[in-house]
């Protein structure tokens, strides 16, 4: 079925259902960062493969909104289809467009697939429409009829995370949730976020790309058995475990129905993200183990890359880099997959913040300029996220200056000492101050939380310069956060350096309790691009101390002499 035929079939269905406007977001029922294949209906309908976008279809129009990362891609992929590209930030906002349609036709009805609309998205899309409840039609899913080869919901069995790795039992976490509910007069609470459910029950799965999640809903009760809405075959081997938690297994579709019932109700924010963000001792040790394993893989990879450059062999492509690093990580104990799409961006591609090499864009590395490599992995005991920018040969003065400014910002945040309850908005300045003085800045956030064998991009705490709810949350001991400033020169190169940090106590004084960061990431920085005169004595000392620590921790785990020599050479004093 061609794209034109798909749109025509949808319009026929809309006419039969009395729907004038149909909305197709890039969503699953759980607002997942990575949408499982079953819910990639927007992609199937349009042929547009970008990870973000919302479609609106009427009897006469077919529109797709997406952000600036995908404008060029969308233009190419939507050519010869009925869809017109709407540029987010430049064209009319989708909620305003929808409200305008409602004002023009008082009887117009709006539809969407019931399993592709979360309460949060419902509020965003339809907040400006008067009497929206009377206009909504969401009982039926047209894609269940139209998409004949639609992938099913994954049926891979769930697994239990051992209590010794989780640090707390699921029974203890459920008790905390019940007490929180009782204090607010709540008798039952529906958890829809997959990370929250997996954390609460100490379960892990393989249903969502890059995230060890189980597609499910969990309803916690104060005075009745809890209910886990999931495909039953996924938890068949865990029935006895769930029984000990007073958790019954119910059909997944029933959880969907409960979420739809909540679309018109006020949302109450879940307490789980705040609890989950503070890692207990067992989780902290798991992170250290995961980063040790990841550090071994990174050193073996970087040693191989340097040998390739020196030996004059044919240089790898960006996709070769991804494959090689993934293979080395896969040799580590407890490897469960990548934690996000590897960004191996050479030269000008490094200036594209979220670049991902494809067969169409893949380029071969050269013995000059910079390779920006942002990657991470899921291990059974923790999650990693690391970026290194690597010199492949001679660099320009501009490249060296930018690299050094990014390194200075990275080090200033890593070295920060600050009062407990300091916010991410305040901490952000540490990473930007040096580059601001030179007229540089970057548009993305400086740091995001990292899950304990959960999502690599974990809320709620973040470090960024924009005033948001997440940037005003207090930092507490036990929270994990990334440290990833960058500078991007469009058409030329990009620099980003990233480690994962653990917030730990520093000391107490008459002014209160102070915190600092422990560096979890174990991998040398490339010092070849550094303009040493731009570093302060304190920054150089910190680098030397960090490299000594990396060498001492990783060396016993390297068996190849060439890798050991590379690590020794790369961690010398600067």
pLDDT digits (tens, 9 = 90+) for 252-309: 999 999 988 888 877 789 999 999 999 999 999 999 999 999 999 999 999 999 999 9
Cα separation values, 53 from 2, 82, 339, 500, Å: 20, 16, 22, 30
Contact yes or no for 563/300 (Cβ under 8 A): yes
Note the pLDDT tens digit of each residue in 33-88: 999 999 999 999 999 998 899 999 999 999 999 988 788 889 999 999 999 999 99
Question: Over pLDDT 90: what percentage of the chain?
Answer: 91
pLDDT reported for residue 119:
86
Buried b (16+ CB within 10 A) or exposed e, 42-66: bbbbbbbebbbbbbbbeeeebbbbb
Structure tokens belonging to residue 167: 């640090």
pLDDT reported for residue 402:
98
Cα separation values, 508 from 279, 424, 430, Å: 21, 21, 21
Check whether 243 has a pLDDT greater than 90: yes
Check whether 486 has a pLDDT greater than 90: yes
Same fold for the pair 3-146 and 159-276: yes
Angle at 355 between CA 384 and CA 451, to 5 degrees: 20
Residues 15-26 have a mean pLDDT of 96
Question: Over pLDDT 70: what percentage of the chain?
Answer: 100
User: What does the alpha-carbon distance between residue 312 and residue 514 come to, in Å, rounded to a whole number?
Assistant: 51
User: What does the alpha-carbon distance between residue 364 and residue 511 come to, in Å, rounded to a whole number?
Assistant: 55
Beta bridge partners, 386, equal 375
Confidence label for 139 from pLDDT (cuts 50, 70 and 90): confident
Note the pLDDT tens digit of each residue in 403-419: 999 999 999 999 999 99
Q: Say if domain 278-569 classifies as CATH 3.90.230.10.
A: yes
pLDDT reported for residue 267:
77
Name 129's Cβ contacts closer than 8 Å, sequence gap at least 6.
98, 99, 102, 110, 135
Q: Say if domain 3-146 classifies as CATH 3.40.50.620.
A: no
- Nearest-CA neighbor of 213 among 200, 203, 227, 201? 203
Mean pLDDT of the chain: 96
Question: What own/partner pairs with CB < 8 Å and gap ≥ 24 does 394-401 have?
Answer: 394/368, 395/368, 395/369, 395/370, 395/529, 398/489, 398/492, 399/369, 399/370, 399/493, 399/495, 399/529, 400/529, 400/530, 400/531, 401/438, 401/531, 401/534
44: part of which helix (H) or strand (E)?
helix 41-46
As separate numbers, helices (DSSP H) first and strands (DSSP E) second, the chain gives 19, 26
Beta bridge partners, 209, equal none
Q: Say if domain 159-276 classifies as CATH 3.30.160.20.
A: no
Check whether 118 has a pLDDT greater than 90: no
Confidence label for 472 from pLDDT (cuts 50, 70 and 90): very high
Neighbours of 441 (CB within 10 A): 13
- Look up tokens 């040693």; give the residue: 303
Model pTM?
0.93
Name 363's Cβ contacts closer than 8 Å, sequence gap at least 6.
317, 318, 346, 347, 349, 357
Note the pLDDT tens digit of each residue in 171-223: 999 999 999 999 999 999 999 999 999 999 999 999 999 999 999 999 999 99
Residues 114-133 have a mean pLDDT of 89
Domain ranges of the chain: 3-146, 159-276, 278-569
Residues 347-356 have a mean pLDDT of 92
Residues 371-397 have a mean pLDDT of 98
Compute the radius of gyration of the chain from its Cα atoms. Answer: 25
Check whether 6 has a pLDDT greater than 80: yes
Neighbours of 172 (CB within 10 A): 13
pLDDT reported for residue 463:
98
């Amino acid at each position: 079925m061609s794209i034109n035929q798909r749109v025509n079939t949808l319009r026929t269905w809309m006419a039969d259902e009395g729907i004038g406007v149909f909305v197709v977001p890039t969503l699953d029922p759980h607002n997942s960062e990575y949408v499982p294949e079953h819910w990639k209906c927007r992609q199937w309908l349009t042929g547009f493969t970008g990870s973000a976008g919302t479609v609106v279809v009427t009897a006469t129009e077919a529109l797709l909104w997406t952000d600036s990362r995908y404008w060029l891609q969308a233009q190419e992929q939507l050519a010869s289809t009925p869809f017109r590209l709407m540029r987010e930030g430049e064209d009319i906002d989708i909620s305003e467009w929808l409200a305008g349609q409602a004002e023009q036709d008082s009887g117009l009805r709006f539809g969407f697939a019931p399993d592709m609309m979360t309460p949060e998205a419902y509020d965003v899309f339809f907040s400006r429409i008067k009497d929206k409840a009377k206009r909504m039609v969401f009982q039926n899913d047209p894609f269940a009829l139209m998409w004949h080869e639609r992938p099913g919901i994954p049926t891979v069995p769930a697994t239990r995370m051992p209590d010794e790795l989780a640090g707390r039992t699921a029974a203890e976490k459920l008790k905390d949730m019940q007490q929180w509910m009782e204090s607010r007069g709540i008798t039952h609470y529906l958890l829809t976020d997959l990370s929250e459910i997996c954390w609460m029950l100490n379960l892990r799965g393989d249903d969502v790309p890059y995230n060890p999640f189980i597609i499910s809903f969990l309803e916690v009760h104060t005075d009745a058995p809890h209910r886990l809405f999931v495909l039953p075959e996924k938890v068949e081997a865990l029935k006895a475990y769930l029984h000990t938690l007073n958790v019954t297994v119910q059909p997944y579709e029933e959880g969907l129905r409960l979420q739809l019932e909540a679309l018109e109700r006020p949302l109450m924010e879940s307490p789980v993200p705040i609890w989950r963000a503070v890692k207990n001792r067992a989780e902290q040790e798991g992170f250290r183990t995961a980063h040790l394993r990841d550090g071994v893989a990174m050193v073996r990879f970087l040693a191989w890359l340097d040998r390739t450059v020196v030996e004059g062999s044919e240089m790898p492509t960006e996709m070769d880099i991804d494959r090689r690093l993934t293979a080395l990580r896969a040799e580590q104990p407890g490897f469960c997959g990548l934690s996000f799409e590897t960004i191996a961006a050479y030269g000008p591609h490094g200036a594209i913040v979220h670049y991902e090499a494809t067969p169409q864009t893949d380029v071969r590395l050269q013995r000059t300029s910079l390779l920006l490599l942002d990657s991470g992995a899921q291990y059974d005991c923790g999650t990693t996220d690391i970026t290194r920018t690597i010199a492949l040969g001679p660099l320009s003065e501009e490249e060296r200056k930018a690299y050094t400014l990014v390194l200075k910002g990275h080090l200033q945040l890593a070295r920060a000492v600050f009062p407990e309850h300091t916010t991410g908005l305040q901490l952000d300045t540490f990473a930007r101050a040096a580059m601001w003085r030179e007229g540089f800045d970057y548009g993305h956030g400086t740091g995001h939380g990292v899950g304990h064998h959960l999502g690599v991009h974990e809320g709620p705490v973040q470090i960024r310069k924009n005033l948001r709810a997440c940037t005003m949350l207090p930092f507490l001991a036990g929270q994990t956060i990334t440290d990833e400033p960058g500078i991007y020169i469009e058409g030329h190169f990009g620099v980003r350096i990233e480690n994962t940090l653990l917030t730990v106590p520093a000391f107490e004084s008459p002014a209160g309790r102070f915190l600092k960061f422990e560096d979890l990431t174990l991998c040398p920085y490339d010092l070849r691009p550094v303009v040493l005169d731009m570093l302060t004595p304190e920054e150089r000392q910190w680098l030397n101390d960090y490299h000594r620590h990396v060498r001492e921790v990783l060396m016993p785990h390297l068996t190849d002499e060439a890798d050991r020599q590379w690590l020794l050479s790369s961690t010398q004093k600067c």
